[in-house]
Amino acid sequence: MINMRLLPALAILTLLAGCAGQVRPPQTSGRNPVSSEQTILMLRERLRVSRRIFRVGERILFAGMPLCGDRRVPSIGLAVWNKYSSRKFGPAIMVRAFGLDDDLRVQALGGGAPAARAGLRLDDRIVGIAGQPAPLGREAVKMAGTRFRALNLAGQPYTISVRRAGQVRAITVQPSARCAFSYGLIHAGQINAFADGRRVVLTTGLMRFARSDSELAVVFGHELAHNTLGHLRSTRATTIVGSIGGMAADLALGVIGIPTFGVFSRLGGTVGRRAFSVKFEKQADYVGLYFAALAGYSLQSAPDIWRRLALEKPNRGGRGRGRTHPSYAERLSAMEATIQEIRRKRAAGQSLAPNRNDAPGGGGLPDSGDPR
């Protein structure tokens, strides 16, 4: 039986349905005709971002070499590619997106690195390396990498011949030492960065969040400091010690018939992992600013990115004994003190080296001469 009170509503729906049928969208085969164009736009944006992190990262790794102890490697700060450089998307799309072919091209240059100082430019076509023809084709990037590494290890100047605007010119480069750490990007919207002991990893969300190269350098330097100071290794050690202590409690209670199901082992590991996390973050803030300063980046805007991060992640790090990061107020205060310290050293003509055991905000470094 039809509810008479619903008739007006049904009439309106019928009228709307009739109106909706008056337009006819174009029929398609089911294929997306613009998908390749969207892929090209995405690849070009990734290239822009990767060139930015290469420019900033290499600049810091070369300039900050004195803070990396014996973890150094000779390099010229150059990345090359050709149409075979993306296995995922294939050569056809790389040709359409970037005009690449079998020849090697300059993909990225480190800011202030030997290759850039010598005069190499983005998109230069590389035709010769140290007097020999540059490799071509599918394995060209791998073969060139092997050749560049051998030449850099030799430590002697060598030539890279490039074709630019229809002319071939030989450019002499001199390899130089840089910090032996790598870096990479994660294509994710989250604003995040981390260090794993060997690499600095940033998200594309963080790359967009950093408004200038100077802001990006502050974050990069912070994560690089975690690596050079050996924080991950120390955290693993305290985690193991905490877990062993907790395991002893689990075993002791198990002997008298009280099952713990490994609760104390997990708790001990957590306590050990957090034991020095706040101290390590303060140290990374402190040394990270020195990395940025050595690379010539302005520190004036350094506190700005942390203020904006405070708005994005106001509760980061937890509270009380369970916290893993300093409060933003602590960080900003220590950061301002560090910036003033760096300015005083520059004015006095002193070398830009972090102090030992007297860093602002309690972020002092250990006494050992090896910063690892």
Chain centre to alpha carbon of residue 261: 39
Amino acid letter, residue 236: R
For residue 32, the Cα-to-chain-centroid distance in whole angstroms is 33
**112, 59 Cβ separation under 8 angstroms:** yes
Cα torsion angle, 184, 152, 136, 171, sign: positive
What pLDDT was estimated at residue 128? Answer: 97
CA 85 to chain centre: 21
The answer to whether 305 and 210 have CB atoms below 8 angstroms apart is yes
What is the pLDDT, as a whole number, of residue 301? 78
Q: Which of these, 227, 179, 160, 161, lies nearest to 75 by C-alpha position?
A: 179
Long-range CB contacts (< 8 A, 24+ apart) of 205-210? Answer: 207/49, 207/52, 207/53, 209/305, 209/308, 209/309, 209/312, 210/305
Residue 282: the pLDDT is 86
For 104, the enclosing helix (H) or strand (E) is strand 104-109
The CATH T-level fold of domain 37-68+72-179 is Pdz3 Domain (2.30.42)
Give me the pLDDT at residue 195, please.
Answer: 85
Domain spans of the chain, in order of start = 37-68+72-179, 182-362
Task: Report phi then psi at 321, rounded to 5.
Answer: -70, -20
50 sits in which H/E element: helix 35-63
- Residues (pLDDT < 70) of the chain are 1-35, 231, 233-276, 314-326, 357-372
List the alpha helices (DSSP H) in 275-356.
277-294, 302-312, 328-347
Q: What is the pLDDT of residue 199?
A: 87
pLDDT score of 21: 56
Return the number of other C-beta atoms located less than 10 Å from residue 274's C-beta. Answer: 19
Q: Output the pLDDT for position 334.
A: 87
Surface-to-core class of residue 364, CB atoms within 10 Å of its CB (0-12 exposed, 13-18 middle, 19+ buried): middle
pLDDT of 252: 46
Q: Are 295 and 60 in contact (CB under 8 A)?
A: yes
CA–CA gap between residue 278 and residue 244 (Å, rounded): 22
pLDDT value at position 328? 76
Give residue 289's pLDDT.
Answer: 94
- Tens digit of each residue's pLDDT (9 = 90 or more) over 142-158: 999 999 999 999 999 99
